[in-house]
Copies of this chain bind each other. A is one copy, B any other.
Amino acid sequence: MTKKTKTAITPTRSENYPEWYQQVIKSSDMAEKSPVRGCMVIKPWGYAIWENIRNVLDGMLKATGVKNAYFPLFIPLSFLEKEAEHVEGFAKECAVVTHHRLEKNGEGGLIPAGKLNEPLVVRPTSETIIGDSFSKWVSSYRDLPILINQWANVVRWEMRTRIFLRTSEFLWQEGHTAHTTREEAVERTHLMLDIYAEFVEKYLAMPVVKGYKTPAERFPGAVDTMCIEAMMQDKKALQAGTSHFLGQNFSRSSGIIFQSASEQEEFAWTTSWGVSTRLIGGLIMAHSDDDGLVLPPKIASAHVVLLPIFRKPEEKTIVMEFTENLSNELKQIFYHNRRIEVEIDTREIGGARGWDWIKKGIPLRVEIGPRDIAQDSLFVGRRDQGHREKKSIKREEFIKTIKDILDEMQANLFERALAFQKDNTVLIDTKKEFYDFFIPENIDKPEIHGGFALSHWCGSENCESQIKTDLSVTIRSIPVNTKKENGKCVCCGKPADKRVVFAKAY
């Protein structure tokens, strides 16, 4: 038995991955459970990541012509009912508003009063309410395309919740577009998926697989659902974003009709696409280690923490002045869409201070003591290196190279995640091998969640659900870049012409 290294997080990933996840969140002070069932409180360190995601992605969406707007939180029940598959998909998890005031009961308590004529559903997604607006905005082909996005909260009454990954209320952006032709709508569906993939890979440093969902896994009411899937460190898949081609389903149910150039009345072709605070859960699980959170610099809540060190009052004056000056200088530097963000931690709590920031995943820790100042140096620790591997760097040098250091860290995180994904993606051609790969009896052990199995599938829902029942494994997607390759369905053995991605998933 090898000696166990002490880690900042207990349990470690290999001991208990789900519990490790909760502890990483707790010790980084990102978020916590709320007294409202299934809802979370996103604390400043976690919310800052969402702000960064929002700022960057918003710019990328707008660059494709998308405009932001805002639609009502409530959806009349009758609207939801218009699209049969859609309401079927969400009916089991809807928060329903039935009253509009509170009244005293006999005992001095309050009870709901003022019953609504029609119940209102708190939006689980907004196709139906936005579709209603589109139906009013569109009359001619000249009014199309409409490219709309909203940043909003949505509610899905989930039975089993987990912070960031699955919560009753979450934050997201939902894009909704309407087009004159099928081709243009399909093109938009692809474009948004590409943007999500680019954003998640470049900013969150998470490599993704782009693909199509199977009919069983589609968004309720969609003709086609595309998705990006990322691999977490327990080898499970996380759906990180979806883009739906809705055909004319929602334009029929909402009445989005336009007069074409040839003066025909036609139904518009629509799409919708979204990413949510779930991305933060993915971020945590993709990069963090047994010492806590690891944040990709481009999206980190802050980039650098300055840790002034002093014993005597006269040292304090010198050290604090040096620290403030350094902070001001760093804050002038632009690094990918924003200025360098600096924290200064003056708490006198000894070594716990450095560990707090390791657990918070800040990319760079800079210790500043009288001896460092005497040499015009800083003592710098990187979150992607061991906590003892700190290095003395000249102040000027640090300022000159901080962007390169951060870029290098960002690239390292992506490369590491990509290597992990590649190492755990395997071609499997026989049922035995496939079942061995996912061994359900050992499901508690993260090291045998398997990974991504690229295997043939005959296209039948029977085989798909058989595998789901036996192994809790689903088809994550039919990859966009999959090639024709004759083989046999990994479940029934019938002929199949391409491989799909099977995995356990969040």
A32 to B71 alpha-carbon distance, docked (Å)? 10
Whether B44 pairs with A69 at a CB distance below 8 angstroms is yes
Whether B99 pairs with A87 at a CB distance below 8 angstroms is no
A501 to B397 alpha-carbon distance, docked (Å)? 60
A109 to B109 alpha-carbon distance, docked (Å)? 33
Whether A51 pairs with B34 at a CB distance below 8 angstroms is no
List residues 36-80 of chain A with CB under 8 A from any CB of chain B.
Answer: 36, 39-44, 47-48, 50-51, 67-77, 79-80
The chain B residue sitting closest to A74, CB to CB, is B36
List residues 159-192 of chain A with CB under 8 A from any CB of chain B.
Answer: 169, 171
Chain B residues near A68: list those with CB within 8 A.
44, 47-48, 51
Chain B residues near A448: list those with CB within 8 A.
none
- At the interface, yes or no: A119 with Cβ under 8 Å from chain B? yes
Whether B110 pairs with A91 at a CB distance below 8 angstroms is yes
CB-CB under 8 A for A96 and B102, given A35-B132, A39-B72, A120-B36: yes
Whether A71 pairs with B34 at a CB distance below 8 angstroms is yes
Whether B72 pairs with A36 at a CB distance below 8 angstroms is yes
Min distance, Cβ A147 to any Cβ of chain B, angstroms: 9
Listed by A's residue number, 18 A-B pairs whose Cβ atoms lie within 8 Å are A34-B71, A34-B129, A35-B76, A36-B72, A36-B76, A36-B120, A41-B70, A42-B71, A43-B69, A44-B67, A50-B70, A73-B169, A80-B102, A94-B101, A94-B102, A97-B122, A98-B98, A101-B157
Contact pick for A72, options B34, B73, B94, B120, CB 8 Å? B34
- At the interface, yes or no: A497 with Cβ under 8 Å from chain B? no
Whether B42 pairs with A70 at a CB distance below 8 angstroms is yes
- At the interface, yes or no: A112 with Cβ under 8 Å from chain B? yes
The chain B residue sitting closest to A171, CB to CB, is B70
A121 to B100 alpha-carbon distance, docked (Å)? 9
Contact pick for A77, options B77, B102, B120, B169, CB 8 Å? B102
Number of copies: 2
Contact pick for A110, options B87, B109, B169, CB 8 Å? B87
Contact pick for A87, options B74, B79, B102, CB 8 Å? B102
The chain B residue sitting closest to A154, CB to CB, is B73
Chain B residues near A119: list those with CB within 8 A.
99, 111-112
Whether A79 pairs with B42 at a CB distance below 8 angstroms is no
Contact pick for A35, options B39, B79, B81, CB 8 Å? B79
- At the interface, yes or no: A144 with Cβ under 8 Å from chain B? no
- At the interface, yes or no: A93 with Cβ under 8 Å from chain B? yes
CB-CB under 8 A for A73 and B171, given A35-B79, A68-B51: no
Min distance, Cβ A417 to any Cβ of chain B, angstroms: 27
Chain B residues near A103: list those with CB within 8 A.
91
List residues 106-143 of chain A with CB under 8 A from any CB of chain B.
Answer: 109-112, 114, 119-122, 129, 132-133, 136
- At the interface, yes or no: A320 with Cβ under 8 Å from chain B? no
Closest 10 CB pairs of A and B: A44-B67, A39-B72, A91-B102, A42-B70, A96-B99, A100-B157, A96-B112, A36-B72, A98-B98, A34-B72
- At the interface, yes or no: A155 with Cβ under 8 Å from chain B? yes
- At the interface, yes or no: A22 with Cβ under 8 Å from chain B? no
Whether B95 pairs with A74 at a CB distance below 8 angstroms is yes
Chain B residues near A97: list those with CB within 8 A.
95-98, 122
- At the interface, yes or no: A3 with Cβ under 8 Å from chain B? no
Contact pick for A69, options B42, B67, B73, B111, CB 8 Å? B42
Contact pick for A153, options B67, B73, B110, B129, CB 8 Å? B73
Chain B residues near A91: list those with CB within 8 A.
101-103, 110
Contact pick for A93, options B87, B94, B98, B100, CB 8 Å? B100
Whether B73 pairs with A102 at a CB distance below 8 angstroms is no
Chain B residues near A99: list those with CB within 8 A.
94-96, 98, 119
- At the interface, yes or no: A505 with Cβ under 8 Å from chain B? no
Min distance, Cβ A454 to any Cβ of chain B, angstroms: 37
Min distance, Cβ A292 to any Cβ of chain B, angstroms: 19
The chain B residue sitting closest to A43, CB to CB, is B69
- At the interface, yes or no: A92 with Cβ under 8 Å from chain B? yes
A70 to B40 alpha-carbon distance, docked (Å)? 8
The chain B residue sitting closest to A111, CB to CB, is B119
A440 to B103 alpha-carbon distance, docked (Å)? 34
List residues 234-293 of chain A with CB under 8 A from any CB of chain B.
Answer: none
Min distance, Cβ A29 to any Cβ of chain B, angstroms: 10
- At the interface, yes or no: A206 with Cβ under 8 Å from chain B? no
- At the interface, yes or no: A148 with Cβ under 8 Å from chain B? yes
Chain B residues near A157: list those with CB within 8 A.
100-101, 114
Most B-side CB within 10 Å, residue of A43, A100, A136, A169 = A100
